[in-house]
Structures are given as structure tokens and as C-alpha cells.
Amino acid sequence: MKVRTPYDRHNLKIKKSDRVLEVGSGHNPSFRSNVIVEKYIDNNYHRCGDVKIYPHQEFVNANGEDLPFKDKEFDYVICNQVLEHVDNPEKFINELTRVAKRGYIETPSLIGEFLFPKESHRWVILEIDNKLVFFEKERMPGNYKNNYGELFLNYLPYKSLAYKLLSYSEGSLMINRYDWSDSVEFIINPQDDFYLSFFEKKWNREMVEKLFQNESKYKELRKTLNAFLYMIKKDIYVRLFHKSPISIEEYMELKNK
């Protein structure tokens, strides 16, 4: 079940004693992860750069749909920007919940996929009623050729304070952030008219308020202030403590010494 909506993957409630797995870390692994799983080592079709890893981590070359770990071997599993790529999301999610007690899933939302689409993405995903709803991208109406990622991914997050604040205060606008415990609720290619409408029809006010609740001015102000404080805290942490991962080749050299 869903527990909370973190600001991002740096805002996770992981204990120091927790053993953490990350599946599909690609070129941007989480420093907190103890074990890294990556399926594609030499092919960057599904990511923006070569595989990176931190020296303290254990690297495993495996498929997320068939993980080589025991049941509940990990306390926490991170799956960041991966599920939109996979062949079988049901099998993939079942493996995540099999090997870990808790975890975090992050994917582009439907609006995010419109703004910065990737050819390698097979699924458009929305969070509705605390469920991750998957819909095959090829069945979605719309133009995915115009990619505005240079603006929304590479420029505004670094140049616009207002945009960064929006991304934290209304995080679900372009990104699904799903912190779960015990299980993950999901639907794949829904047949129910209610869920289908979000992918196939024009959104009306009722649908919008289903995804983005209408809140009081006080709650809006508090949410915005908390987002601003988190943004400052994260920026300070990154500047003071952020370390850069190394290439898989450098990692292998260190392990072979």
C-alpha cells in the first residue's frame, strides 16, 4: 500500500541499518543503495548516459523481472524512472515487493510524458486512488514527437526558482512519486471506464480535482513553505556532501585489485 508522496528520491525514510536495493539505477544511482541491479550494461537506449556506480556498492547484472535474491532480502528497494520502460510491469512490481519490505517508485506522469517523451518508454502512468495505472503508450492519443525536455528537464530546474518550487509543491504534476510498504497497488491497461477516461478523454474539472485536490489557502501556503524549506535543505546537502559515482570500468578495476 502507498505510505506517502516524497519530494523526490532523496526524501526517503530509510534507516541507517536498512539494506537497500536499487533496480535500474543507470547513470544516476542513489548513494544510499547497498546493491545495484542493472540489466543493460553496454546499451544506453533506456538511459541518458553510461552506467555509473559508487565504490561502496555491490553491482549485479540482472533483469528486474527475475531478480536473483531471496524473499524479503532487503529492507528497502528504489526503482527510479524504470517502470515506464519495462516489458511486463506486473512481473517487475511483483519482484520488487517479493525481495523488499518497503520501497520507492518514481516514473514520469502522463503530463510528463507529453512534455519530455522518450522513445524507449512503453507505458504512460498515472497515480489514481493510490494506484499506479499503466496504459500502453502506443494506444495513447497525442503527439510524442515534440520533446520539450530541454526546457523542462535541462533548463528550468537549474535556472528558475519558481519552477523548482512548483516541482516540489506539486510534485505529481509531471512525476509519479510512490513510497510503499508491503505491496503496490496497480492496474495495467484498465478496462474500467473511469480509469480509461484519464487516458482517452479530455480532462474535466472533476477529473482534475481527483488528481490534484482542492485545498484551503492555509494548506496551500503550508505546502509551499515546506517545499521551499526542503528545496533549500537539499541544495545545501548536495553542495556539501554530494559525491560523484564512477564508471563501471573504474568500478571493476577497483574490485579486481
Region 112-120: mean pLDDT is: 94
pTM for this model (two decimals): 0.94
pLDDT at 18 over 80: yes
pLDDT at 241 over 90: no
pLDDT at 183 over 90: yes
Question: What percentage of the chain exceeds 90 in pLDDT?
Answer: 86
Q: Strand runs (DSSP E) across 24-120, as ranges?
A: 35-38, 52-53, 58-61, 74-80, 100-108
CATH class of 2-256: alpha beta
Domains of the chain: which residue ranges? 2-256
**Could you give the residue ranges of the DSSP H alpha helices within the chain?**
89-99, 110-115, 149-152, 156-159, 161-169, 193-200, 205-211, 217-241, 248-256
Backbone angle region of 142, left / alpha / beta, with phi > 0 → left and psi within -120 to 50 → alpha: left
pLDDT at 257 over 80: no
Give residue 91's pLDDT: 98
| CB-based contact 163:34 (threshold 8 Å) | no
Buried b / exposed e along 73-102 (16+ C-beta atoms within 10 A): bbbbbbbbbbbbbbeebeebbebbbebbbb
> What span, in angstroms and rounded, lies between the C-alpha atoms of 76 and 22?
9
pLDDT one-digit tens code per residue, 59-112: 999 999 999 999 999 999 999 999 999 999 999 999 999 999 999 999 999 999
Give residue 213's pLDDT: 87
DSSP state for residue 136 in the 8-state scheme? E
Residue bearing the bigger pLDDT, 103 or 142: 103
Give residue 48's pLDDT: 85
Return the closest-CA partner of residue 5 out of 187, 215, 167. Answer: 167
Residue 178, number of CB atoms within 10 A of its CB: 25
Give residue 29's pLDDT: 96
Burial of 104 (0-12, 13-18, 19+ CB in 10 A): buried
| CB-based contact 157:167 (threshold 8 Å) | yes
Predicted confidence band at 256 (pLDDT cuts at 50, 70, 90)?
confident
Mean predicted lDDT score pLDDT of the chain: 94
Burial of 5 (0-12, 13-18, 19+ CB in 10 A): middle
Region 122-150: mean pLDDT is: 93
Give residue 42's pLDDT: 87
pLDDT at 255 over 90: no
- Three-state SS at 139: helix
